């Protein structure tokens, strides 16, 4: 009797009993004809979303080009200008008021002295009771009053350099984010797809090292990694020295630094258990931001879903610059995607 041929079930996951006849080259899943059409419709929906995002971004760039004054940083400069002018005007008002009060008091004082001098002169002239010395004294007093009338106050305006009236601002061009790409694997059971943006484990469960293309020597850099497919067995994100050769099970070599999904951090080839109060989480659809700080010799990992942040100091005696993105895939069908890095202010 002829043996029955093996029929592959549809992988739609909703209990479909139909035989799979078509395999999607993108996700490597097999579908029956009906669910393959549904699968393509979902992909078309995602494509339409990408087109809409593209159009929105294009419109935003067009608006900035046609009306650059609407740029948020231009608005920030305008706000600084307005606030600075208000502070200067307020301080000028206070100084004018202060000077007016001082001038008024000094003028009143001079008027009183002049009246007193006039009274002395009139009394002495009325009685003819004055001498040469009186004339000399009155003339000297009158000269002093006249001098004070021309320059009534010995006042100066001082610049307070140690405590400026307004804060100065400047334009600081930060390092623009450079999106990384997957470039090398230690075993062909892991494949790089989508022009380096995606890596997929198509083989059996085995620890395969994946390296990024970029070399990080200075500055601070951010890489966003989306866990598109993962059942939770084991996964690693971190860095490795470019000089370290690719190899399977690379988590235990001295130059490896990073974190694994089983709640471990890795430094100098050693695993360290993390606190249960601050665990490492890596789940399907999570987005992990990997921050590489070459200047301070440290790396950070942030789960964008939980906002939990973990940080490691890197010993460059073990992990020499330049550094590279270092991902380890163990579980079959695990799929990681590099997302565009957002520019933050």
> Tens digits of per-residue pLDDT, 262-288?
999 999 989 998 877 788 999 999 999
pTM: 0.52
Dist CA 257 CA 39 (whole Å): 39
**In contact, 220 and 293? CB cutoff 8 Å:** yes
Which SS3 state, helix, strand or coil, does residue 187 take?
A: coil
**In contact, 8 and 19? CB cutoff 8 Å:** yes
pLDDT at 159 over 70: no
Q: What is the CA radius of gyration of the chain?
A: 39
By CB neighbour count within 10 A (0-12 exposed, 13-18 middle, 19+ buried), where does 136 fall?
Answer: exposed
pLDDT at 102 over 60: yes
Which SS3 state, helix, strand or coil, does residue 225 take?
A: strand
Dihedral of the alpha carbons of 282, 285, 288, 289, in degrees to the nearest 10: -170
Q: What pLDDT sits at residue 144?
A: 77
Assigned CATH topology for domain 182-339: Jelly Rolls (2.60.120)
pLDDT at 334 over 90: yes
Dist CA 62 CA 65 (whole Å): 5
Q: What pLDDT sits at residue 211?
A: 97
Domain boundaries, the chain: 22-66, 74-150, 182-339
Residue 237 is encoded by which pair of tokens? Answer: 């994100």
**Which whole number is the average pLDDT over 145-167?**
63
**In contact, 326 and 209? CB cutoff 8 Å:** yes
Dist CA 234 CA 208 (whole Å): 11
Dist CA 61 CA 292 (whole Å): 29
What digits encode the pLDDT tens for the residues 176-208? 455 899 999 999 999 999 999 999 999 888 899
Q: What mean pLDDT value characterizes the chain?
A: 85
**In contact, 240 and 324? CB cutoff 8 Å:** yes
Q: Length of the chain in residues, anyone?
A: 345
CA nearest neighbour of 333 among 261, 233, 210: 233
């Amino acid at each position: 009797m002829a043996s029955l041929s093996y029929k592959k079930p549809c992988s739609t996951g909703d209990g479909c009993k139909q035989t799979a006849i078509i395999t999607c080259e993108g996700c490597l899943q097999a579908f029956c004809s009906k669910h393959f059409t549904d699968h393509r419709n979902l992909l078309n929906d995602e494509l339409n979303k990408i087109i809409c995002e593209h159009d929105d971004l294009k419109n935003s760039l067009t608006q900035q080009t046609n009306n650059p004054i609407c740029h948020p940083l231009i608005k920030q400069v305008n706000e600084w200008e307005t606030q600075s002018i208000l502070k200067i005007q307020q301080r000028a008002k206070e100084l004018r008021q202060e000077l007016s009060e001082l001038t008024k008091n000094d003028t009143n004082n001079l008027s009183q002295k002049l009246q007193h001098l006039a009274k002395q002169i009139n009394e002495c002239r009325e009685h003819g009771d004055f001498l040469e010395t009186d004339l000399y004294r009155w003339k000297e007093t009158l000269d002093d009053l006249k001098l004070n009338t021309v320059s009534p106050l010995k006042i100066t305006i001082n610049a307070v350099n140690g405590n400026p009236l307004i804060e100065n601002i400047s334009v600081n061009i930060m390092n623009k984010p450079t999106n990384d790409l997957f470039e090398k694997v230690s075993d062909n059971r892991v494949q790089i797809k989508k022009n380096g943006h995606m890596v997929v484990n198509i083989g059996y469960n085995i620890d395969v090292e994946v390296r990024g293309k970029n070399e990080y020597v200075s500055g601070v850099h951010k890489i966003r990694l989306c866990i598109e497919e993962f059942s939770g067995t084991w996964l690693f994100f971190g860095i490795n020295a470019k000089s370290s050769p690719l190899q399977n099970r690379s988590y235990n070599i001295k130059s490896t630094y990073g974190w694994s999904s089983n709640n471990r951090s890795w430094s100098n080839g050693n695993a360290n258990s993390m606190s249960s109060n601050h665990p490492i989480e890596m789940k399907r659809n999570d987005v992990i931001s990997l921050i590489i700080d070459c200047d301070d010799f440290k790396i950070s990992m942030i789960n964008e879903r939980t906002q939990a942040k973990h940080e490691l100091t890197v010993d460059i005696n073990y992990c020499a610059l330049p550094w590279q993105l270092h991902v380890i895939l163990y579980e079959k069908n695990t799929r990681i995607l590099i997302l565009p890095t957002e520019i933050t202010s």
